[in-house]
Amino acid sequence: METLRTLADAEFAPGTTYLNTASCGRLPRRAVQAVKTLADELAAGRPGGAGDYSAMNAARRSFARLSGVDEDRVAAGGSVSVHVGLIAASLPSGAEVLFPEGEFSSVITPFTVRGDLKLRYAPLDALADAVRPGTALVAFSAVQSADGRVADLAAVRSAAAAHGARTLLDTSQSAGWLPLDAGAWDFTVTGGFKFLLCPRGVSFLTVTEQAQESVPPLHAGTYAAETEKLYGPIEELARSARRYDEPPSYLAYHAAEQSLALLEEIGIEAVHAHDAALARQFRAGLTDLGYEPLPGDSAIVAVPGLGDRVPELARVGIVVSDRAGNLRAAFHLYNSAADVERVLDRLADKSGTARPGGCR
């Protein structure tokens, strides 16, 4: 934890009480500097082109280590919906896909637009029980965007295996604070601009070797080749998940290389312990004030019916979000106990409840 605090203090300067990582993570100084350096070079006429592909590969390797898989299973791109679209395209007509109710639209829509798949929905806490013979794919988020609930990953994985269903796990709201074993899933998709502290334009897809046999590389281009070829048709696609790469957004990936390296230096276990402790502190404080946050041990805390307080909090420099009527606060490595106390004190101002020892 000492390493976490030292690196966080060096990389992030507090300008607000920022509790909105579930919407967009803050960029560390090293990532900002990487973007500035590349932008300056581009403005001056960079001889090496738009950026360095090595940055994308470095980010791929970091993500592979953070998620516990070999880099050959990781494809890099720009958005979760594009990666999900590849998986949706791989299913035969009439295949059944199971989702949790209220799942994020980027996980669902690439399947709905096909128009020839059988789609079912179940409550998140009953998702494992809803898997049945004939279910081809279970697609869901490890942590729900709207309220921070953590899925019963072991139960869903076991149920899918029992019925021969493949699994698609969206880790956009969990990768970076919740330890991830991507190898336990047929597919994972991860938007990098939240808890992974990358800019928008960074996204990762992991695909098992078996699943790679059925997923079509629909947008294959220069970067999907086994060896570089700039002209004419590509004769050999990459023999790894790199066949699913999108052309890199170099500014984003130059930053991502640095952001993911920072998370590796700190360690996800340390980040998890830090984030979860702050979230527990916040839930306990909310309960003392008479509010009813959703229970759990997620780094994302939701308070139903309190979303209308978000504008007021923003006016005093406390950044949270309103999702599905919930006040949603997300805690990450740059947050502290003082941040928790500040937002609790502000919420106490209108609850009529005094908070002895509160921090204003």
pLDDT at 258 over 50: yes
Query: How far, CA to CA in Å, does 301 sit from each of 95, 271, 295, 317, 323?
Result: 35, 16, 8, 19, 11
DSSP count for the chain of H helices, then E strands: 11, 12
Q: What is the pLDDT of residue 352?
A: 46
How far is Cα 120 from Cα 287, in angstroms, rounded to an integer?
A: 35
Task: Please count the other Cβ atoms lying within 10 Å of the Cβ belonging to residue 65.
Answer: 15
Residues 6+ apart with CB under 8 A from 159: 128, 129, 131, 138, 165
| Cα maximum dimension of the chain | 72
| pLDDT, tens digit, 9 for 90 and up, residues 139-158 | 999 999 999 999 999 999 99
| pLDDT, tens digit, 9 for 90 and up, residues 316-356 | 999 999 999 999 999 999 999 999 999 999 999 865 454 55
How far is Cα 33 from Cα 49, in angstroms, rounded to an integer?
A: 19
pLDDT at 76 over 80: yes
In this prediction, residues 41-56 reach a mean pLDDT of 95
How far is Cα 59 from Cα 65, in angstroms, rounded to an integer?
A: 10
Q: Are 339 and 280 in contact (CB under 8 A)?
A: no
In this prediction, residues 17-46 reach a mean pLDDT of 98
Determine what percent of the chain is predicted with pLDDT higher than 70. 97
Cα dihedral sign, 119-214-241-252:
negative
Full strand arrangement of the beta sheet holding 326-330 = 300-304, 326-330, 321-323
Residues 6+ apart with CB under 8 A from 2: none
Mean pLDDT (the chain, rounded): 95
pLDDT at 43 over 80: yes
Q: What is the pLDDT of residue 356?
A: 55
Render the burial of 122-146: b for 16+ CB within 10 Å, e for the rest.
bebeebbebbeeebbbbbbbbbbbb
pLDDT at 360 over 80: no
pTM comes to 0.95
